[in-house]
Amino acid sequence: MSLPNCPKCNSEYVYKDGNLLMCPECAYEFSADELNEQEELVKDANGNILADGDTVTVTKDLKIKGTSFVVKVGTKVKNIRLSDGDHNIDCKIPGHGAMKLKSEFVKKV
């Protein structure tokens, strides 16, 4: 069984001590359950945690696949829904309709 890298310093020398995982380089202690919870969180471009119903702003011009349209920087998107997958935000963008966005291209308002 391979152990995950340290979430704080990304060290590969993590070892198991009872129920906890320990990092010898930064002395960080964490559990495998805690690590799974952190992976499930969806964060925006600034590292803020996103939740269903949040309002976000687009931080980069995004080309819409299959069309010549572009979602411009600064477009405000209200009432987002989080989903699984690479494009982890479902939303309706004014003037463009329903879309999926990546959380790395939005920031929380």
Q: What span, in angstroms and rounded, lies between the C-alpha atoms of 44 and 35?
A: 19
Q: What is the pLDDT of residues 54-92, one digit of tens each?
A: 999 999 999 999 999 999 999 999 999 998 888 999 999
Question: Which are the contacts of 98, defined by CB distance < 8 A and separation ≥ 6?
Answer: 90, 91, 92
pTM tops 0.75, yes or no: no
Q: What span, in angstroms and rounded, lies between the C-alpha atoms of 44 and 102?
A: 9
